[in-house]
A and B are shown apart, each in its own frame.
Chain A
């Protein structure tokens, strides 16, 4: 399997076998990501980190990934200090950045921006989120977390909870889970339920997702993937409070849950998971955050051709 020079724009660009390979490489990176082992694997390589939009986890974990492997990082965390403020196009910014680096990681507010950047750049582009669009490295780290926490992706019953309509990262995750034939339950208020095209796509891939509106019965769930319900989706603040409150995960919600239940969240969270959950063994969201580093190490090493 050769990833050298490949762009990471959308999870749909990858086969199941390729995803498994990325996760296998990530597994080997864990001790380095944790700082237990030192590595100079990417010594002499430069990653440009172009963040046109705010980010905490994605940007920091990419930079940590590069530096843990002995590589260097250039770039910006906000476009305010660059020629973009003078009206420079993204295409020109990409053509400029690629002459200074070996790989570009970018986040941009417009959907499809990473796909366009990939057309202009000769170095690999890694999409760190394009607006409300795709976020493939999040999807990969979610899959990696499910595998690490439960031993496999297949064979799990995974519930996606919260805003399933607008969060397109959940759409990609549903696609990827269907690829692995995981059982899925979509739990959301009717106005934020998974779009029918995503449900249809899962069906076409041979997975029939269960649609639910309540988090009351989660006894048979292996993984609870919680997402944030955004206030701005509701015209009436009272309605928001009511809906958000009824999807909050607390000790009461999980009282009948499996002992092995894994709770995940891409973070940032507001109050969809009660802090009392944090100290339980179910809480995997901070481990999930850590997993961003080995997964991104794997991607950087693969697209730079240092690992095959």
Chain B
């Protein structure tokens, strides 16, 4: 990782290949405000082998699958590197699941999933490239440019 202009971390997660300009959204989705005390490094518009990208390094936190799914919605090409004692012990690309449950709020105020019924929001993937999802209940497709504002 010599090309990265930020220091390696001992333990935690490195999210690489984030769609350029989306690093701050990734932090927002993860609920990281910087008050946690651990070191968070952000690199934006870094030139990598496959063009520009953003990178986020989070110390002392290993991302859970559900959190990774959330990132997949705004940075579909991101890779997740789990670091333990300076070594990458796990590396995988984010995968958008067939069904996205309890992550995105339906933008339709008249959708049953926005009422008091005992259900979680549920979206199904319509296409992966470009990414399009639709509400399982009302079939409304959210505007993917505004998806970060709909993430629960």
Contacts and interface: CB of A to CB of B under 8 A. Distances in A.
B137 A90 contact: no
Given A89-B117, A110-B115, A115 B137 contact: yes
Given A10-B139, A133-B138, A133-B139, A111 B108 contact: yes
A116 B119 contact: yes
B54 to A, nearest CB: 31
A249 to B, nearest CB: 31
Contacts of B136: 112, 115
Interface residues of A, number: 19
B122 to A, nearest CB: 9
B137 A132 contact: no
7 contacts: A90-B115, A109-B110, A112-B113, A113-B112, A116-B112, A130-B112, A130-B138
B118 A111 contact: no
Given A133-B138, A133-B139, A112 B116 contact: no
Interface of A: 10, 89-91, 108-113, 115-116, 119, 130-134, 197
Given A90-B112, A132-B110, A112 B137 contact: yes
B10 interface: no
A111 B141 contact: no
A133 B106 CA distance: 14
Interface residues of B, number: 17
B138 A111 contact: yes
A134 B135 CA distance: 13
A116 B110 contact: no
Interface string B134-152: 0111111100000000000
Contacts of A90: 112, 115, 117
A112 B111 contact: yes
Contacts of B115: 90, 110
Contact of B112 (A110, A132, A134): A110
A301 B135 CA distance: 30
A119 B112 CA distance: 13
Contacts of A110: 110-112, 115
Contacts of B141: 197
A112 B119 CA distance: 12
B110 to A, nearest CB: 5
Given A90-B112, A132-B110, A112 B139 contact: yes
Contacts of A197: 141
B117 A111 contact: no
